Structure 1
Amino acid sequence: MLSLLNNKSVSIALYFGLLLAPFSGHAHSTSKVDNVAEQHTRYIATYFPGRISGTPAEFLTAQYLQQQFSQLGYHAHIRHKQGVAYPLAATSAVAVHRGQLPQEILIIAHIDTPQADTAHQRQQNVGGINFQGVDNNAASLGVMLELAKRLASHHNGYSLRFVALGGTQPPHQGMTDYLNSLSMDERKNTLLVVDIENIIAGKTLAFLSGNTTATAVRKQTTGEAKRIAQQRDIPLLTAQLASSRSRTLTVYEEMGLPYMRVTASNAVKLTTLATGEIKPVLGNDAAKDNLAYINHHYPRRLAQRSHQVVTILTPLLRGLLTPTRAAKH
């Protein structure tokens, strides 16, 4: 069936006809804020499975995200990267809330889902066009949209940028391409990258600082997250992402950007971790990473975990977006 997606007779217009109709009013129709992330997650997983880089599903997810950001008052646009893995471009959605100062905080979550490249991977239910990818990574996109809603009216000194990236699955061209597009000034003005992924299936939330992230920044980020979580009785593990011995860096850190990953882990206690040691609990298994399986095996987890992440990140980001008196001078 994968060849069907790539057949020229299957047009983007057909997918718009099938999938855009449920867009209007669905995910933002409620006046409640607390379940916004869950609503978006269920919508994306249901209507846009198989968000493989370069496919219509990835493109339409980016269009959906752009629409939601724009309705919240953000300057939102679509970004294409041609020829990552398919004839169609890998697509990202970018939304910006400009502050009074040039510095900004960058919130990232990936759109694309994995593809089964071999017969063995297909036998193992890896990815594919039916892969809903709730934990990988629709739930993080839902959280991103709820954060955007909660922070839209927050008048801050620093800018806030949301990037829903396509083309992030190995070999990560989409991610690298976006970072390479940043000018030296934009890199210098990026105060923090918050990378959200795989937040549902793990037993406990984990906020992980990058190896090159300064101690003062770790105190303001993972340290502050721990304080907020304790105040709200939310179990939270914090650690440094990579050891000084392994020097395993994310692509963001390789660009010199302060970094924090928001994820979930089955570990009882996190020690210093290397990037490659963090594995999604459900892996890329299409038979497990879907709404039916998660609803059955992790009842109420989607709503609860999404709410926990938003509850911690909202005050954390509001604090970070407001420059101190000393920073203004």
Structure 2
Amino acid sequence: MLSLLKNKSALAALYLGFLLTPFAGHADSDSNLGKVAEQHTRYIATYFPGRMSGTPAEFLTAEYLLQQFSQLGYRVHIRYEPGAVRPLSATSVVAERPGQLPQEIVVMTHIDTPQSYTAQQRLHNVGGLNCQGVDNNAASLGVMLELAKRLADHHNGYRLRFVALGGTQPPLQGMSDYLKSLSGDQRKNMLLVVDMTNIVAGKHLAFLSGNTTAAAVRKQTTDQAKAIAQQHAIQLLTAQLASSRSRTLTAYEQVGLPYLRVTSSDAGKLTTLATGETQSVLRDNAAKDNLAYINRHYPHRLTQRSYQLVTILTPLLRGSLTPTHASAIKH
């Protein structure tokens, strides 16, 4: 297993970049924060329901993302993953901005919505062709697109990569295929993976550090995020994913990548949280994970979460993409 903890110079650069870059100087006063994200979310949920792996809806969503990233000036391509059952079992989109240094910050989320594999799942409205998948995971795609817009002209230091994966629902083929496609150097150069999922329905916004992520990176990412949140009167819970046992590690951690999950949770207080505890409280129910249900039962939540995440992640990512002069020399 490759471990980024061994890349001491890169780790020091990330640590110093977070520590010494004044996030307050990057704060956005734009009253439109989050509005672009919400517009994309509503569009994707409305026009591309049933984004199951290998379906036309997943492909059309990928084409939509490709168009949006291309218009922002990103180098972007679509990945097609062959499957055992369908000719194409996963469609993913990768967009990137080159940096002056080889190290990179990666922002990830997923395109696909759940499938119904059994009669019991169909009885309980799990996934299916009508599932809009707002919480799982159109809202995260919307936030990703607004972050891409706000960071498009930020050229300092590290490379920025956005990855929208298909095929992430069980058995997680798209995720594993993408990770397997990375070379040793690519993994080594990933200073941080920010993974957004299920950001709407949970009562509290939560930033969860990976169990194997270096303490310095954990401290600076979650502490920095919490400080930004406090500036804007946003409640943010932080914790560490548990545990160190390999069976509970995320796929990203299993290949040695520093990891930060951005999600929501109904827990009032977080200390450590097992990886499976952050799934949507809507339980992938197509009758609930849609705009009509969320607007009725979680009024203004989509607007609120879009604003909160763009407000926190924009300066956080800007800071992480900007190494100090001293740390850059070490590369």
TM-score (norm 1): 0.88
Partner of 1:171: 171
Partner of 1:216: 216
2:78 aligns to what SS in structure 1?
strand
Letter in 2 for 1:130: N
Letter in 1 for 2:104: E
Partner of 1:65: 65
Partner of 1:267: 267
Q: 1:63 to 1:228 in 2, by over 3 A?
A: same
For residues 85 and 199 of structure 1, the distance between their equivalents in structure 2, rounded to whole angstroms, comes to: 31
* CA RMSD in angstroms, aligned pairs only: 1.4
CA contact (8 A) 1:211 1:247 kept: no
Q: Equivalences for 1:217-256 in 2 at 5 Å?
A: 217-244=217-244, 248-256=248-256
1:95-154 CA-to-partner distances (Å, cap 9, x unmatched) read 001111000011000000101111110010100000000000000000000000000011
Larger mean Cα displacement after TM superposition, 271-280 or 319-328: 271-280
Q: 1:84 to 1:190 in 2, by over 3 A?
A: farther
For residues 255 and 99 of structure 1, the distance between their equivalents in structure 2, rounded to whole angstroms, comes to: 24
Q: 1:307 to 1:258 in 2, by over 3 A?
A: same
Letter in 1 for 2:200: I
1:309 aligns to what SS in structure 2?
helix
For residues 98 and 134 of structure 2, the distance between their equivalents in structure 1, rounded to whole angstroms, comes to: 30
For residues 243 and 118 of structure 1, the distance between their equivalents in structure 2, rounded to whole angstroms, comes to: 31
Q: Indicate yes or no: 2:93 matched with 1:77.
A: no
1:325 Cα shift?
Answer: 2.3
Letter in 2 for 1:309: L
For residues 309 and 84 of structure 2, the distance between their equivalents in structure 1, rounded to whole angstroms, comes to: 31
Partner of 1:96: 96
Partner of 1:191: 191
For residues 118 and 139 of structure 2, the distance between their equivalents in structure 1, rounded to whole angstroms, comes to: 27
Q: 1:274 to 1:32 in 2, by over 3 A?
A: closer
2:272 aligns to what SS in structure 1?
coil
Structure 2 unaligned blocks of 5 or more: 1-30
CA contact (8 A) 1:212 1:258 kept: yes
For residues 315 and 109 of structure 1, the distance between their equivalents in structure 2, rounded to whole angstroms, comes to: 19
Q: Equivalences for 1:15-54 in 2 at 5 Å?
A: 34-54=34-54
Partner of 2:286: 286
Letter in 2 for 1:75: R
For residues 100 and 119 of structure 2, the distance between their equivalents in structure 1, rounded to whole angstroms, comes to: 53
Partner of 2:160: 160
For residues 277 and 199 of structure 2, the distance between their equivalents in structure 1, rounded to whole angstroms, comes to: 16
Letter in 2 for 1:210: G
Q: 1:85 to 1:159 in 2, by over 3 A?
A: farther
Partner of 1:15: none
For residues 250 and 232 of structure 2, the distance between their equivalents in structure 1, rounded to whole angstroms, comes to: 30
1:278 Cα shift?
Answer: 2.3
1:246 Cα shift?
Answer: 7.4
CA contact (8 A) 1:209 1:239 kept: yes
1:205 aligns to what SS in structure 2?
strand
1:274-308 CA-to-partner distances (Å, cap 9, x unmatched) read 11222311111001000000011111110111110
Partner of 1:309: 309
For residues 133 and 85 of structure 1, the distance between their equivalents in structure 2, rounded to whole angstroms, comes to: 23
1:195-214 CA-to-partner distances (Å, cap 9, x unmatched) read 00000010010000000011
Letter in 2 for 1:293: Y
1:268 Cα shift?
Answer: 0.4
1:66-121 CA-to-partner distances (Å, cap 9, x unmatched) read 10000001001111001165333410011001111000011000000101111110
Q: Percent identity?
A: 76
1:220 Cα shift?
Answer: 1.6
Letter in 2 for 1:280: S
Partner of 1:200: 200
Structure number with greater CO (CA < 8 Å, separation at least 6) is: 2
CA contact (8 A) 1:168 1:174 kept: yes
CA contact (8 A) 1:54 1:85 kept: no
For residues 267 and 190 of structure 1, the distance between their equivalents in structure 2, rounded to whole angstroms, comes to: 30
